[in-house]
Amino acid sequence: MRRLSVVFFAIALTLGLAGTAQAQVSVAPEVAFGDDVDLGIGAHVAAPLTSVNENLELAARFNLFFPDGFDYWELNGDVRYLFPLPENDQFVPYVLGGLVFGNWSFDFESDLVDVDDSTTEFGLRLGGGVKFPMDRFHPFAELGAGIGDVPDFVLRGGVAFPLGS
């Protein structure tokens, strides 16, 4: 129940901040690969923060990973600084930084032993990526480095879909 409350709080916070944005909100399914946590799937919501700076975006994401022997999920919020290239609108590089809230859990059951344990960790993620703006969707790829008790490196990619007009 606590996990679900955290997820709903993060989504509500993101949507609240997105409501103050002056430009388009986007949602994106994504695939991720982490060095300690293997393959993962997830989604994120991003909103431009043009009221603060025209090159800033706020993104919140949830990823569920599938490592062998245990479960791991993470919720994080990033601020991205975009570097639009005036001579090229085919791609937009960016840097990112944000907080990561991760949960490791382990459940092992046998005739002799029943072990159920979980731990919650916080950390920072720094990285960068590139978006490929197109008319109806925006593919992206990014690499983030974890600082703290979160996966050291996570490579992500997906397709963002702008909402509204």
CATH code of 67's domain = 2.40.160.20
Written as one string, the DSSP assignment of 108-142 is: EE-SS-EEEEEEEEEEEEEEEEEE---SS-EEEEE
Q: What are residue 153's DSSP bridge partners?
A: 145
Query: Tokens 């590139």 — which residue?
Result: 130
Confidence at residue 20, expressed as pLDDT on a 0 to 100 scale:
44
pTM for the full predicted model: 0.79
Rg (CA), the chain: 17
What pLDDT sits at residue 86?
85
Number of domains in the chain: 1
Per-residue pLDDT, 96: 97
Averages of pLDDT over each 10 residues, the chain, 165 residues: 49 49 80 92 94 94 90 94 89 96 81 75 95 92 92 93 82
What was the pLDDT predicted at 114? 65
Domain that holds residue 157: 2-162
